[in-house]
Amino acid sequence: MTTECLFCELKNQERIIGECDLTITFIDNFPASPGHTLVVPKRHFATYFEASEAELLAIGIAVQKAKLILDKEFTPDAYNIGVNNGEMAGQSIKHLHVHLIPRYKGDVENPKGGVRWILKDRANYWNNKNKA
């Protein structure tokens, strides 16, 4: 791990909810919703596409384990799982991190389209089918 990375220097141990040889899982400091969690590989690299097969498997297992913990503590109605890869995708910390964001009935007026709302003018595809 590098010494100049926020995730490599994780200090707030009480936020950690899981750990294995390859990943660490913790509650986000700036949660989008109650229980917003990050799964971070211990090896320092920037994007999902740089992860080894072992790291990808460990990340997937960590997401599954985190969901079980969040289900018990926060009882969400659904989840979004997301990764920002690169600056133009919104990545602000150059260390891969997978967001597990609990969703709750009524947290937005209409959740249809989910992650498509990242590009707002393209999100409502079901009403724009004939405009292509």
In our burial notation (b when 16+ CB lie closer than 10 A, e otherwise), range 57-83 reads: ebbeebbebbbebbeeeeebeebeebb
- Annotated active-site residue in 36, 44, 95, 97: 97
Contact (CB, 8 A) for 35 and 102: yes
DSSP at 39: E
Active site residue 97: yes
Which pair of structure tokens corresponds to residue 62?
Answer: 């960590």
Contacts (Cβ under 8 Å, ≥6 apart) of 18: 24, 25, 62, 65, 66, 69
* Active-site residue set: 97
